[in-house]
């Protein structure tokens, strides 16, 4: 059932909380566990629809996936190349990461698998992954570029060296995963650093991976005919989910919150870097390393923000945080220019258009110039208005947070999609003192 919601004026958010596990790392822990021999015990797995779709897909191809308790899962894998043909279509719901990473897996199997997804996922471009995987030997029936698709791996996959035409960790990951099945070395060259969880975790599971900093980018290589061994994974808190709590504390007067155990991998923290430049009172405390990833407790206090210029090179490290940053920019004093947002057009919705349409609804002045989003903040947000989330969880959460400090409540049309990445969002926000109706 469609469920609309508003954030109500909130003050003095306080407390120490933990956000659920990182979505990107959760997908990879499940996939790499299923491609390994032996047991992978995962703590802190994100139990949201997107990751559950990945778990179901590997289960449908023969991996053993056991839910032991909250966030605690055990995967018994089949080794690289050990999957069996699924007898049902693999349904990836709303998740681009699940669908695209699993295309890399199917490329390595000489059987057919049908990929389906919801309305939003079925609109998203797949050619960016299918093109390089086709060069390696993957084939498919039906239409090109969009789900539903029936994919078929060849008898023998070929390794490639591929330069990413778009800065996409999903494309990079799909190719590297396919490379596990090919003879020889498969390499991906990226000119802009995208999130590096795949290369970190492949190495952690025993695959031979190398990363070379080169003139103009990074070359990531994986040795094929790989063998991977199950390994324990503690999934850190998701910085993209923590972004909503951070933003709420920044805009609600009197707030002081701490979010414990958040991933601070440099390829993921562009949002926090930008907020510091805007004058936010944010401190990373107790920095430490867990399961090969840097984490910290993030303390955030209410702050008056100022407009800034966000460079295009930073986009991959904060790609999912732009709707929230755009909403925050409405509360800032001065203009914020977010450069190079072309990739936002192909997310769960056209996030560039959906964000700007939302800003218009709540009377924040903004414009799109080429691939840049420009927001003119005047220190306060009038609010009111009705937001069309377009099956996009991050649009829903961004405008709910904005509503907490807007003069008039903002109505978000449909909050169901929040379950794809952050099912405990409303409860966690309420535990800090945020109010919704």
Catalogue the active-site residues: 320
Give the list of residues 6+ apart from residue 131 with CB closer than 8 angstroms, or none: none
Contacts of 383 (CB under 8 A, 6+ apart): 362, 363, 402, 403, 406, 407, 408, 409, 410
With vertex at residue 394, the alpha carbon angle to CA 390 and CA 400, rounded to the nearest 5 degrees, is: 95
Q: Which stretch binds ligand S3P (CB under 6 A): 41-49, 137-145, 156-164, 166-174?
A: 166-174
User: Does the protein bind ligand S3P through residue 355 (CB under 6 A)?
Assistant: no
Contact stretch for ligand S3P (CB under 6 A) within 64-72, 111-119, 168-176, 246-254: 168-176
Separation between Cα atoms, residue 215 and residue 204, nearest integer Å: 27
Q: Output the CA torsion 415→421→424→430 (10° steps).
A: -60
**Candidate list 10, 60, 173, 258; residue touching ligand S3P; CB under 6 A:** 173
Contact 217, 189 (CB under 8 A): yes
Selected binder of ligand S3P within 170, 187, 258, 274 (CB under 6 A):
170
Q: How far is the CB of 6 from ligand S3P (least distance, A)?
A: 26
Q: Is 130 helix (H, G, I), strand (E, B) or coil?
A: helix
Distance of alpha carbon 44 from alpha carbon 26, whole angstroms: 8
User: Is 265 in contact with 284 (CB distance < 8 Å)?
Assistant: no
Strand partners, 116: 91
- For ligand S3P, the closer of residues 97 and 255 by Cβ is 97
Q: Is 319 in the site for ligand S3P (CB under 6 A)?
A: yes
At closest approach, how far in Å is the CB of 315 from ligand S3P?
Answer: 9
Only one of the segments 80-88, 102-110, 169-177, 402-410 lies at the binding site for ligand S3P (rule: CB under 6 A); that segment is 169-177
Q: Which is nearer to ligand S3P, 160 or 169 (CB)?
A: 169
The reply to whether 398 sits near ligand S3P by the rule CB under 6 A is: no
Q: If you search the block for the tokens 């609804």, which residue do you land on?
A: 361
Q: Examine residue 24 and tell whether it contacts ligand S3P (CB under 6 A).
A: yes
Which secondary structure element, helix H or strand E, spans residue 300, and what is its range? Answer: strand 293-301
In the 3-class helix/strand/coil scheme, how is 269-296 assigned residue by residue? CHHHHHHHHCCCEEEEEEEEEECCEEEE
Number of residues this chain uses to bind ligand S3P (CB under 6 A): 11
Q: Taking the complex as a whole, how short is the minimal distance between the CB of residue 345 and ligand S3P, in angstroms?
A: 12
Question: Out of 91, 293, 320, 414, which residue is the one contacting ligand S3P (CB under 6 A)?
Answer: 320
Q: Which helix (H) or strand (E) holds 335?
A: strand 333-338
Q: Quick one: 168 or 255, whose CB is closer to ligand S3P? A: 168
Q: How far is the CB of 210 from ligand S3P (least distance, A)?
A: 20
Residue nearest to ligand S3P (CB): 24
| Between 318 and 381, CB nearer to ligand S3P | 318
Binding ligand S3P by CB under 6 A: which of 10, 60, 168, 336?
A: 168
Complex with ligand S3P: residue 27 or 223, whichever CB lies closer? 27
When asked if residue 188 is in the footprint of ligand S3P (CB under 6 A), the reply is: no
Q: Is 97 in the site for ligand S3P (CB under 6 A)?
A: yes
Residue with tokens 């926090």: 272
Q: Minimum CB separation from ligand S3P for residue 183, in Å?
A: 26
Size (the chain), residues: 437
Distance spanning both ends of the chain, measured CA to CA? 16
Q: Which residues 408-427 are close enough to bind ligand S3P by CB under 6 A?
A: none
- Distance between CA atoms of residues 426 and 291, nearest Å: 29
Position 195 contacts ligand S3P (CB under 6 A): yes
CB of 422 to ligand S3P, least distance (A): 12
DSSP letter string, 148-184: SEEEE--SS----EEE-SS--HHHHHHHHHHHTTSSS
Q: What are phi and psi of 267, to 5 degrees?
A: -80, 5
Nearer to ligand S3P, 233 or 410 (CB): 233
Kindly state the smallest distance separating residue 188's Cβ from ligand S3P, in Å.
12
Q: Can you give the binding site for ligand S3P, defined by CB under 6 A? A: 24, 97, 168-170, 173, 194-195, 319-320, 343
């Amino acid at each position: 059932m469609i469920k609309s919601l508003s954030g109500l004026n909130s003050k003095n958010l306080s407390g120490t909380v933990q956000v659920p596990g990182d979505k990107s790392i959760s997908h990879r822990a499940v996939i790499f566990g299923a491609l390994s021999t032996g047991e992978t015990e995962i703590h802190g797995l994100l139990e949201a629809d997107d990751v559950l779709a990945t778990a179901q897909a590997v289960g449908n191809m023969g991996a053993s996936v056991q839910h032991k308790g909250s966030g605690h899962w055990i995967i018994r894998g089949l080794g690289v190349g050990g999957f069996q043909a699924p007898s049902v279509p693999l349904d990836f719901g709303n998740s681009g990461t699940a669908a695209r990473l699993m295309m890399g897996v199917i490329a390595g199997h000489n059987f057919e698998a049908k990929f389906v997804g919801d309305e939003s996922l079925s609109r998203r471009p797949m050619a960016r992954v299918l093109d390089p995987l086709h060069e390696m030997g993957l084939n498919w029936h039906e239409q090109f570029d969009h789900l539903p698709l029936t994919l078929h791996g060849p008898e023998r996959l070929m390794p490639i060296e591929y330069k990413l035409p778009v800065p996409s960790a999903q494309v990079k990951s799909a190719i590297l995963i396919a490379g596990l099945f090919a003879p020889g070395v498969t390499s991906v060259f990226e000119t802009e650093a995208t999130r590096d969880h795949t290369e970190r975790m492949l190495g952690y599971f025993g695959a031979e991976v190398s990363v070379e900093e080169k003139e103009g980018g990074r070359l990531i290589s994986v040795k094929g005919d790989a063998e991977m061994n199950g390994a324990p994974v503690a999934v850190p808190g998701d910085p993209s989910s923590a972004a909503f709590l951070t933003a709420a504390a920044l805009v609600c007067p009197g707030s002081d919150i701490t979010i414990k155990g958040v991933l601070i991998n440099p390829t993921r923290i562009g949002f926090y870097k930008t907020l510091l430049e805007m004058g936010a009172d944010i401190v990373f405390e107790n920095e430490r390393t867990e399961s090969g990833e840097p984490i910290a407790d993030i303390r955030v206090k209410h702050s008056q923000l100022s407009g800034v210029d966000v460079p295009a090179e930073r986009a991959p490290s904060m790609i999912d945080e732009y709707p929230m940053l755009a909403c925050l920019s409405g509360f800032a004093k001065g203009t914020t220019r977010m450069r190079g947002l072309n990739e936002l057009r192909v997310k769960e919705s056209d996030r560039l258009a959906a964000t700007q349409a939302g800003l218009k609804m709540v009377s924040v002045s903004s414009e799109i110039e080429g691939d840049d989003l420009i927001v003119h903040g005047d220190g306060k947000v009038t609010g009111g208005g009705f937001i069309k989330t377009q099956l996009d969880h991050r649009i829903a959460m961004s405008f709910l947070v904005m509503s907490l400090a807007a003069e008039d409540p903002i109505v978000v049309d449909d909050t169901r999609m929040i379950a794809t990445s952050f099912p405990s969002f409303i409860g966690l926000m309420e535990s800090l003192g945020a109010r919704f109706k």
